Protein backbone atom coordinates (compact mmCIF):
# COMPACT_ATOMS: atom_id res chain seq x y z
CA UNK A 1 0.00 0.00 0.00
CA UNK A 2 1.41 3.44 -0.91
CA UNK A 3 2.60 5.69 1.89
CA UNK A 4 0.48 8.56 0.69
CA UNK A 5 -2.16 8.96 -1.98
CA UNK A 6 -1.40 11.39 -4.78
CA UNK A 7 -3.25 14.69 -4.45
CA UNK A 8 -5.85 15.59 -7.09
CA UNK A 9 -4.84 18.34 -9.53
CA UNK A 10 -7.22 20.69 -11.36
CA UNK A 11 -6.52 22.92 -14.35
CA UNK A 12 -9.30 25.51 -14.24
CA UNK A 13 -10.40 26.87 -17.62
CA UNK A 14 -7.87 24.75 -19.53
CA UNK A 15 -10.00 24.81 -22.69
CA UNK A 16 -9.63 28.58 -22.90
CA UNK A 17 -6.40 29.10 -20.93
CA UNK A 18 -4.03 26.58 -22.49
CA UNK A 19 -2.43 29.26 -24.70
CA UNK A 20 -0.91 30.92 -21.60
CA UNK A 21 0.98 27.75 -20.62
CA UNK A 22 4.73 27.37 -21.14
CA UNK A 23 5.73 24.96 -23.92
CA UNK A 24 9.15 23.36 -24.46
CA UNK A 25 10.64 21.63 -27.52
CA UNK A 26 9.59 17.96 -27.82
CA UNK A 27 10.36 16.93 -31.42
CA UNK A 28 11.14 18.96 -34.54
CA UNK A 29 8.19 21.36 -34.89
CA UNK A 30 6.33 19.93 -31.87
CA UNK A 31 6.27 21.52 -28.42
CA UNK A 32 5.04 20.08 -25.12
CA UNK A 33 3.53 21.46 -21.93
CA UNK A 34 3.50 18.68 -19.33
CA UNK A 35 0.48 18.64 -17.03
CA UNK A 36 1.32 15.37 -15.24
CA UNK A 37 4.63 13.49 -15.24
CA UNK A 38 4.86 9.70 -15.07
CA UNK A 39 2.26 7.14 -15.93
CA UNK A 40 -0.32 7.97 -16.75
CA UNK A 41 1.10 11.11 -18.27
CA UNK A 42 -0.89 14.12 -19.42
CA UNK A 43 0.34 16.98 -21.61
CA UNK A 44 -0.51 19.50 -24.26
CA UNK A 45 1.25 19.06 -27.62
CA UNK A 46 1.45 21.98 -30.04
CA UNK A 47 2.30 21.12 -33.66
CA UNK A 48 3.65 23.77 -36.02
CA UNK A 49 2.21 23.65 -39.56
CA UNK A 50 3.71 20.64 -41.34
CA UNK A 51 5.16 19.07 -38.17
CA UNK A 52 4.66 15.47 -37.16
CA UNK A 53 5.66 12.57 -34.95
CA UNK A 54 7.10 9.44 -36.63
CA UNK A 55 5.49 6.02 -36.57
CA UNK A 56 5.13 4.64 -33.05
CA UNK A 57 3.42 1.84 -31.14
CA UNK A 58 1.15 2.28 -28.14
CA UNK A 59 2.04 -0.16 -25.32
CA UNK A 60 -0.88 1.34 -23.38
CA UNK A 61 -4.02 3.34 -24.08
CA UNK A 62 -3.59 6.87 -25.46
CA UNK A 63 -6.38 9.47 -25.48
CA UNK A 64 -6.21 12.67 -27.54
CA UNK A 65 -8.58 15.65 -27.57
CA UNK A 66 -7.92 18.09 -30.41
CA UNK A 67 -8.20 21.61 -28.97
CA UNK A 68 -7.33 23.66 -32.05
CA UNK A 69 -6.48 22.98 -35.69
CA UNK A 70 -6.47 19.55 -37.34
CA UNK A 71 -4.40 16.50 -36.35
CA UNK A 72 -4.00 13.71 -38.89
CA UNK A 73 -2.84 10.10 -39.04
CA UNK A 74 -3.14 7.23 -41.51
CA UNK A 75 -6.82 6.79 -40.59
CA UNK A 76 -7.92 10.37 -41.27
CA UNK A 77 -8.08 14.01 -40.24
CA UNK A 78 -9.38 15.11 -36.83
CA UNK A 79 -10.54 18.73 -36.43
CA UNK A 80 -10.91 20.64 -33.16
CA UNK A 81 -13.30 18.85 -30.81
CA UNK A 82 -12.31 15.36 -32.01
CA UNK A 83 -11.58 12.67 -29.42
CA UNK A 84 -9.12 10.00 -30.57
CA UNK A 85 -8.60 6.71 -28.69
CA UNK A 86 -5.50 4.72 -29.60
CA UNK A 87 -5.75 1.35 -27.82
CA UNK A 88 -2.80 -0.70 -26.61
CA UNK A 89 -0.96 -2.36 -29.50
CA UNK A 90 -1.96 0.13 -32.20
CA UNK A 91 0.60 1.92 -34.42
CA UNK A 92 0.51 5.13 -36.42
CA UNK A 93 2.35 8.33 -37.29
CA UNK A 94 0.86 11.77 -36.58
CA UNK A 95 1.08 15.11 -38.39
CA UNK A 96 -0.68 18.42 -38.81
CA UNK A 97 -0.66 20.17 -42.17
CA UNK A 98 -2.03 23.43 -40.73
CA UNK A 99 -0.81 23.11 -37.13
CA UNK A 100 -2.78 22.03 -34.07
CA UNK A 101 -2.82 21.74 -30.31
CA UNK A 102 -3.99 18.58 -28.54
CA UNK A 103 -4.52 17.40 -24.99
CA UNK A 104 -2.96 13.95 -24.70
CA UNK A 105 -3.04 11.28 -21.98
CA UNK A 106 -1.04 8.06 -22.12
CA UNK A 107 -0.86 5.05 -19.81
CA UNK A 108 2.65 4.11 -20.97
CA UNK A 109 5.14 6.02 -23.14
CA UNK A 110 5.04 5.23 -26.86
CA UNK A 111 7.69 3.10 -28.57
CA UNK A 112 9.06 4.82 -31.68
CA UNK A 113 9.51 2.52 -34.69
CA UNK A 114 12.30 4.57 -36.34
Is there a domain that residue 30 lies in? yes
Q: What is the model's pTM?
A: 0.90
Average pLDDT estimate for 61-82? 96
Residue 114 CA to its chain's centroid (Å): 19
Residue 37's domain comprises 26-112
Residue 61 CA to its chain's centroid (Å): 12
Is there a domain that residue 21 lies in? no
Average pLDDT estimate for 15-30? 94
State percent of the chain over pLDDT 90. Answer: 72
The answer to whether residues 110 and 56 touch, using CB atoms and an 8 Å cutoff, is yes
Is there a domain that residue 36 lies in? yes
Of the candidates 63, 65, 64, 29, the residue with the CA atom closest to the CA atom of residue 46: 29
Is there a domain that residue 58 lies in? yes
- Check residue 2 and give its pLDDT: 56
In the chain, the N- to C-terminal Cα span, in Å, equals 39
Q: For residue 60, is pLDDT > 70?
A: yes
pLDDT confidence bin for 68, thresholds 50/70/90:
very high
Q: For residue 5, is pLDDT > 90?
A: no
What is the count of structural domains for the chain?
Answer: 1
Amino acid sequence: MPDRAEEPVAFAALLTGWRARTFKPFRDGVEISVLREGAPGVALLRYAPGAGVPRHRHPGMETILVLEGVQSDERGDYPAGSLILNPEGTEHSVWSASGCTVLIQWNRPVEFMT
